[in-house]
Amino acid sequence: MTAIQEIPLKTIKGEDAKLADHAGKVLLVVNTASKCGLTPQYAALEATHEKYRDQGFSVLGFPANDFGGQEPGTDAEIADFCQSSFNVAFPMFSKLTATGPDKHPLYAALTEARPEATERDSAFREKLERYGITRKGPGEVFWNFEKFLIGRDGEVIGRFTPDITPDDPLITQAIEDALAK
């Protein structure tokens, strides 16, 4: 069991949880938002969760309002939106802070373990920078829908920029490689 697996969490329904509750699985941890241009990724996250679930995989969603106020709702409102808009069945957690001095210990551990994300190209980052949006510091999560891949042993084995969708071959290959171990 790794230290990251023991960090206290809350489900979107307010129940105590830890990543250890998913021990032995490959996990894709994603900071989500309901009012973001990338919000349609919920559909691909759910499809990826369904595709690999029976092989010991799960997507874990962590709503965060860190970027442009794009997740303003309560946990109940977020849960309702995810269910009614995207039929999300993967585990969702209570809204947290994913970046900055008040970031949740889970995101502190994730970004420390993987300070840099795999980036297909710099177009997404450059687009945000044209709007004056920059990373809040070295290693920080850049925007909504950044993805961290955690292996069965609880180690962070990958990180992907927000514009790389869950069904992109970069992510699916990483998931399949992790599942094969």
Active site residues per annotation? 36
Q: Which long-range contacts (CB under 8 A, 24 or more apart) does 129-134 make?
A: 133/67, 133/68
What are the angstrom distances between the C-alpha of 160 and each of 15, 105, 144? 28, 19, 11
Structure token digits, residue 148? 């961290």
